[in-house]
């Protein structure tokens, strides 16, 4: 059925020696979505992905990927998915082409289908000029694109990417996301984890994860509206001392620092003048201020503080 979700997760839980890494997870991801699991290191993102990829069994609960149970049909799931871990298994002493052919062998891709697939993967990942270069001599961004090409050689229905741009330069990150958008147009369901909160806004839907629990699950625009109170950005030459004074002002819901800027969530817009007066009394000048839409990071920090 077309309305069958690409991924369905029901009460999925994983514990290690009594420590709960993933806590009663419930999610549905539609076919053709670019879904982001967003959170800091240790949130449970990798453990979730390893369970969904049938690499690791859950302590309790169940999930279905491409219509197959992770408990009973793990081998079938592996045929339907591509999985790129944080330390994807490229062979550095093989060339780009040799790595792709190795994964084509691993996934038992028919010989007659290989030339067209390989040419296409090299093309959209911009690796054609480097097909004879050893993988060990590629840049970090190019290694990530080669890892993606290898994960796609068997044309998976669902693609799992575990922090694929971690440690990659900004230009390569942009190029990598462009490739993901191209895949999305072809109907591939993409499940990506990231600790870069700015990348969350590139997804069609995200779940904010903290200590194994989902704090919120919606599209980025709706999540940014969820704070429910106005947010003001202020900039100062002394942001750390300013933050302490602002934090102790009645009606301030949260305050986060970004370089020389402060994002302040207020119970009401009228509190802006009071904050500026309090800062002036403390000898701290505010260089400017404006009302802004909260970022995903603002929402995440606010929700963690409530926890």
Count of CA atoms in the C-beta half-sphere (13 A) of 243: 14
- If asked whether residues 174 and 293 sit together in one domain, one would say no
- Of the candidates 261, 260, 273, 271, the one whose C-alpha atom is nearest the C-alpha of residue 230 is 271
Residue 174 structural domain: 7-224
Domain with residue 235: its CATH number is 3.30.70.100
Establish if 2 belongs to a structural domain: no
- If asked whether residues 274 and 147 sit together in one domain, one would say no
pLDDT at position 198 is: 84
Establish if 29 belongs to a structural domain: yes
- If asked whether residues 85 and 137 sit together in one domain, one would say yes
- If asked whether residues 161 and 24 sit together in one domain, one would say yes
CA distances from 218 to 44, 49, 134, 179, 288 (A): 19, 19, 42, 23, 32
- If asked whether residues 179 and 218 sit together in one domain, one would say yes
Establish if 189 belongs to a structural domain: yes
pLDDT at position 194 is: 92
Domain's final residue, options 209, 224, 239 = 224
- If asked whether residues 114 and 30 sit together in one domain, one would say yes
- If asked whether residues 152 and 169 sit together in one domain, one would say yes
Please list the residues that pair with 15 across neighbouring strands. 20
Cβ neighbour number for residue 98 with a 10 Å cutoff: 14
Count of CA atoms in the C-beta half-sphere (13 A) of 199: 26
pLDDT at position 306 is: 75
- If asked whether residues 47 and 139 sit together in one domain, one would say yes
Domain's final residue, options 224, 249, 275 = 224
- If asked whether residues 244 and 213 sit together in one domain, one would say no
Can you tell me the distance from the alpha carbon of 241 to that of 254, in angstroms, rounded to the nearest whole number?
15
Establish if 81 belongs to a structural domain: yes
Domain's final residue, options 224, 242, 272 = 224
- If asked whether residues 217 and 279 sit together in one domain, one would say no
- If asked whether residues 164 and 237 sit together in one domain, one would say no
Q: How many domains does the chain have?
A: 2
- If asked whether residues 115 and 180 sit together in one domain, one would say yes
Cα-Cα-Cα-Cα dihedral sign, residues 199, 54, 41, 298: positive
Establish if 1 belongs to a structural domain: no
pLDDT at position 1 is: 44
Mean pLDDT by 10 residues, the chain (307 residues): 85 95 97 95 95 96 97 94 85 95 93 93 91 93 91 94 87 88 92 90 94 95 88 92 92 89 91 92 91 90 80
Cβ neighbour number for residue 1 with a 10 Å cutoff: 4
């Amino acid at each position: 059925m077309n309305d069958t979700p690409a991924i369905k997760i029901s009460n999925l839980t994983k514990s290690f020696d009594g420590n709960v890494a993933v806590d009663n997870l419930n999610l549905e991801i539609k076919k053709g979505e670019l879904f982001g699991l967003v959170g800091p290191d240790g949130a449970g993102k990798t453990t979730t992905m390893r369970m969904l990829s049938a690499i690791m069994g859950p302590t309790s609960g169940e999930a279905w990927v491409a219509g197959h149970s992770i408990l009973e049909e793990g081998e079938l799931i592996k045929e339907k998915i591509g999985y790129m871990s944080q330390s994807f298994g490229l062979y550095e002493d093989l060339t780009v082409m040799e790595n792709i052919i190795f994964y084509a062998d691993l996934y038992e891709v028919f010989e007659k289908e290989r030339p067209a697939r390989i040419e296409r993967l090299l093309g959209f990942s911009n690796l054609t000029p480097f097909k004879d270069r050893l993988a060990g001599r590629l840049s970090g961004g190019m290694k990530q694109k080669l890892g993606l090409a290898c994960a796609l050689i068997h044309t998976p229905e669902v693609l799992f990417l575990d922090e694929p741009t971690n440690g990659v330069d900004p230009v390569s990150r942009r190029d990598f996301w462009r490739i993901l958008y191209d895949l999305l147009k072809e109907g591939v369901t993409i499940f990506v984890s990231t600790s870069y909160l700015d990348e969350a806004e590139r997804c069609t839907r995200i779940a904010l994860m903290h200590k194994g629990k989902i704090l919120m699950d919606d599209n980025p625009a709706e999540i940014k509206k969820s704070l429910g109170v106005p947010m003001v950005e202020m900039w100062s030459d002394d942001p750390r001392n300013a933050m302490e004074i602002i934090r102790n002002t009645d009606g301030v819901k949260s305050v986060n620092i970004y370089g020389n800027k402060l994002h302040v969530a207020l119970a009401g817009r009228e509190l802006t003048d009071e904050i500026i007066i309090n800062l002036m009394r403390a000898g701290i000048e505010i260089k400017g201020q404006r009302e802004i839409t909260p970022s995903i990071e603002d929402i995440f920090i606010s929700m963690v503080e409530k926890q």
